[in-house]
Amino acid sequence: MKQERQEEQEIRTQTPNVNAPFTPYQKFLITILALLQFTVILDFMVLSPLGDVLMKTLSIPPARFGLVVSSYAFSAGASGILAAGFADKFDRKKLLLFFYTGFIIGTLCCAFANTYALLLAARIVTGFFGGVIGSISMAIITDMFAVNHRGRVMGFVQMAFAASQVLGIPIGLYVSNLWNWHATFMMIVILGTILAAAVLIKMKPIDKHLAIQSDKSAFLHLWHTLTNNTYGVGFIATAFMSIGGFMLMPFGSAYLINNIKISQAQLPMIYMWTGISSIIIMPVVGKLSDKIDKFFLFSAGSILAIVMIIIYTNLSPIPLWEVIVINMFLFMGIMSRMIPATTLMTSIPEMKDRGAFMSINASLQQIAGGIAAVCAGLIVSQPSKSSPLQHYDTLGYVVSIVIVGCAILIYRVSVLVKNKNETRALERINEELALRNGQVVVDEVI
């Protein structure tokens, strides 16, 4: 018995090195996925800083602008559900190229839109294709990287969010100020075309999951994934994760300009410094999520986010540097939630269900976010084009309550993942002990 315990302990310690360097091809994958996410996130995020310009240029009231934002989310949610049944039936590279090409076409339509109706239609097309790209990327990461390396990978890939603020949004605003807002979307189209060519030429097929498919029907595969009780907790938790961002973000620039009295020319500075702080913190959070309890890290980020959201949504006119500092800490809290939560989510599904799980997950996230954006548009009001936004502070309190509810759900996800990992570890121990001893090991392992 003592020898068996020593062998078991030896097997438990034989885990991959958390700090092991990535191979050149893995580095390419991380880089290309981060850049793809950069363009998709920028396409969505740029609506916020352009919000004030769009609302005034196209005469869009807050409620209708909320619909512009939510139309992308609802469209992305619908495509996620439609694609979920097929997500594990194809090579992930081909699936990625198909949806990314559609995303580029949708963004091109945004660049040529000159009325509210055309912009709304263009956002629907862009959302239909762009909303699935993140889930495909997460499935690729889960297939290609061990679980104890995914925190680092997520930290780098999620840097796309910060990079879109440091580089994308300031450049996009500069291009918009130099020419017009249409040019900002054209810039994304050009960059996206270059990245699509790199994926086509350099990325290898990712199709190992095809060999273990059990559902021949795409509909059955979708149904089995949807009705899996273990997956359901992850779906609901991810939906709650998106509500806060979709409520606060659409009216961010309008709030800063009309309530805090920040000028349009000062906006790039705010987004740039906020992004720089995120670029610094995200790799740190990624490494921490591989080394310490992910729920503990998520909880710390949630507490910071709640404090900063309440402060931010109750601001009166203050100097630019104070706005920058508050935004930096706010996004620090948000990023410290996003990375550990996303890493936990990737550990829930089995390999044969990863594509479907990620697609449904992204779909519910977008739908929940779309509903949140519509609700935010109904809560916030603006009597005239230049008057301060009203009831923005109410959004802060609502989002804070949602964050608390999300923490409860993420705790349940954390428990599920720990139990699943422990079960797998015991199975691996039993298998290796059986091979060493030349006999079947009893089920109970102390």
162-221, pLDDT tens digit by residue? 666 566 666 767 777 777 777 788 888 998 999 999 989 888 877 776 666 554 555 666
Task: Count the alpha carbons within 13 Å of 231 in the hemisphere toward its beta carbon.
Answer: 22
Q: Give 103: exposed, middle or buried? Use CB within 10 Å, 0-12, 13-18, 19+.
A: buried
Q: How far is CA 292 from the centre of its chain?
A: 21
Whole-angstrom Cα distance, residue 277 to residue 335? 10
Q: Which has more pLDDT, 149 or 196?
A: 196
Which residues lie closer than 8 Å to 418 by C-beta, 6 or more apart? Answer: none
For the structural domain made of 26-206+217-437, what CATH number should be given?
1.20.1250.20
pLDDT of residue 194: 92
Tokens standing for residue 366: 């977008």
Which residues lie closer than 8 Å to 166 by C-beta, 6 or more apart? Answer: 271, 272, 275, 276, 278, 279
Q: What is the CA radius of gyration of the chain?
A: 23
Q: 82: helix, coil or strand?
A: helix
Whole-angstrom Cα distance, residue 331 to residue 374? 23
Q: Which has more pLDDT, 27 or 246?
A: 27
Whole-angstrom Cα distance, residue 427 to residue 431? 6
Whole-number mean pLDDT of the chain? 76
Q: Residue 348 carries which DSSP code?
A: S
pLDDT tens, 368-403?
Answer: 777 787 788 788 877 776 778 888 888 889 888 888
Instruction: Label residue 105 by pLDDT band (50, 70, 90).
Output: very high
The pLDDT of 109-114, averaged and rounded, is 84
Model pTM above 0.85 = no
pLDDT tens, 405-414?
Answer: 888 888 888 8
Q: Hey, which of 99-103, 177-181, 259-263 has the most confident mean pLDDT?
A: 99-103
